[in-house]
A and B are shown apart, each in its own frame.
Chain A
């Protein structure tokens, strides 16, 4: 395949970036999007150029590292996949492809297509944990959990913290991510002791990191590689409201 790539290049977080054009040829259709960038980078290195920096790790859709906005869509077109799971056969020969970083103020660009998502880590730290009894391991089946609750918790737990939801949102809102984390732990008895504290702390941390306010447009739901549902955001709103009312009364 022959392609024209328009790639965001930015030296470091303080520099101003811009789009650069690369004309590439002989890209195999079966290459993944990241493999295509590997090929381009090899050519850049051979010709003495500066390779394009991008994040990746597992390359099988589980770690959430890869983070490219392809033709304006985080993780590119294709439902329920990450950038590393996107293949070049989804593009046509001769196509021009725009590749940009995940854009959001709380995700500062480090270099080229790589952004700093540690704001997500701090949101997790603020409430994404459960208290466990240390010492001897608990018997695996000592705590019966309703099948529906287990399924809901598992659906929410599939969030890989990639940040595509934030990147797709015109307000850089992190509500889908936070709602998934809260839904995951608050649906389970293991998460019950910190239930109220969790939702309040995580929302406060989300606000503190500078993520925007949700305007109910569901762009996040459309791009989430794990198909996390915006229904969870509605549930987060209710849980937060309830927590605040409880706090005001007590």
Chain B
């Protein structure tokens, strides 16, 4: 046990070790994003489907809290490590070129920390809005459906009917999509799971995945604002 803890510390203090932690936590978050989106798309199947889905999740507190704590741990580890990497990298470069030139690094790859910081703001807002239900009345009796369950459907409709909330949501999803357009394929590079033969496919899958997450998630506020979901 002690040996493994020691090896982990050694691994984490190396540059590749830190990168691997960023990739694994990123991958866990990528997996969560897909599950979360698929779950939320149940809103299109009507109040019954999404409310029973939410009630089902809440009927397993151990699983729910296990997942929440795991995700939060991944999120913090991802942030802590990337911030450390950014600081170390600035230090390693030392001086900057007078004449700056970029050959092929993508815009997304050069702004990961900025898209990341906006994602942090969004996640805090999003959790306060729909999970903690802070400064709103989504916990009141108005949000209990006829079966006595929490009325997630009504909460989403009301939550996204407020234009600024929807706009911030769409903006954040765009940045998340931007973050993933680099991050997804990057995971395969970092974990040593790519060759020149598979690279094209991996990159294309990354773009496709990012786009699916963006379109899937944004379809909800857009449909609510457009009045297709009431």
**A and B held together in a complex:** yes
Could you list which residues of chain A lie within 8 angstroms of chain B, going by C-beta atoms?
Answer: 6, 8, 19, 69, 71-73, 98, 100, 103-106, 168-173, 203-204, 206-207, 210-219, 221-223, 229-231, 233-241, 244, 247-248
> Are B193 and A71 neighbours in the complex by a CB distance under 8 Å?
no
> Is the CB–CB distance between A234 and B192 below 8 Å?
yes
A214 to B199, CA, bound (A): 18
- Contact A105:B109 (CB < 8 A) given known A219-B102, A235-B192, A241-B20: no
Q: B142: CB under 8 A from chain A? A: no
8 A-B contacts, Cβ less than 8 Å apart? A170-B89, A231-B199, A238-B192, A238-B193, A239-B192, A244-B17, A247-B7, A248-B8
**Residues in B neighbouring A104, C-beta threshold 8 A:** 92-94
Q: Which residues of A are found within 8 Å of B13, using beta-carbon distances?
A: 207
A71 x B101 contact (CB < 8 A): yes
Q: Which residue of the partner chain A has the closest CB to B18?
A: A213
Chain B residues with CB under 8 A of A241:
16, 20, 191-192
The one of B103, B186, B189, B191 in contact with A168, judged by C-beta atoms closer than 8 angstroms, is B103
Is there contact, CB below 8 Å, between B104 and A222? yes
For A235, the closest partner residue in chain B by CB is B192
> Contacting A234 at CB < 8 Å: which of B3, B85, B91, B189?
B189
Residues of chain B within 8 A of A213, CB atoms compared: 15, 18-19, 85, 88-89, 92
Complex CA–CA separation, A219 to B103 (angstroms):
6
> Judging by beta carbons under 8 Å apart, are A69 and B97 in contact?
yes
Q: Is the CB of A215 within 8 A of B14?
A: no
In the bound complex, do residue B95 and residue A103 qualify as a contact, i.e. CB atoms below 8 Å apart? yes
The chain B residues found within 8 Å of chain A, CB to CB, are 3-4, 7-8, 10-11, 13-20, 85, 88-89, 91-106, 109-110, 112, 182, 186, 188-196, 199
Determine if B103 and A212 form an interchain contact, defined as CB atoms under 8 angstroms apart.
no
CB distance from B197 to the nearest CB of A (A): 9
A240 contact from B16, B110, B112, Cβ within 8 A: B16
- B interface, over-half SS: helix
- The reply to whether B99 and A172 contact each other, CB–CB distance below 8 Å, is no
**Smallest CB-CB A-B distances: 7 pairs:** A238-B192, A72-B101, A212-B92, A217-B105, A171-B89, A222-B103, A105-B94
Q: Please, which residues of chain A bring their CB within 8 A of the CB of B98?
A: 6, 8, 19, 98, 100
Measured CA separation A170–B89 after assembly (Å): 8
Q: Given contacts A204-B14, A241-B192, could you give 15 more A-B pairs where the C-beta distance is less than 8 Å?
A: A72-B97, A98-B98, A100-B98, A103-B94, A169-B93, A172-B92, A207-B14, A215-B112, A217-B104, A231-B195, A231-B199, A234-B194, A236-B16, A240-B16, A248-B4
Compute how far the CA of A210 lies from the CA of B193 in the bound complex, rounded to whole angstroms.
26
Cα A69 to Cα B195 with chains together (Å)? 30
A238 with B191: CB separation less than 8 A: yes
* Cα separation A85 to B112 with both chains bound (whole Å): 36
CB <8 Å contact, B11 and A244: yes
A215 touches B89 (CB 8 A): yes
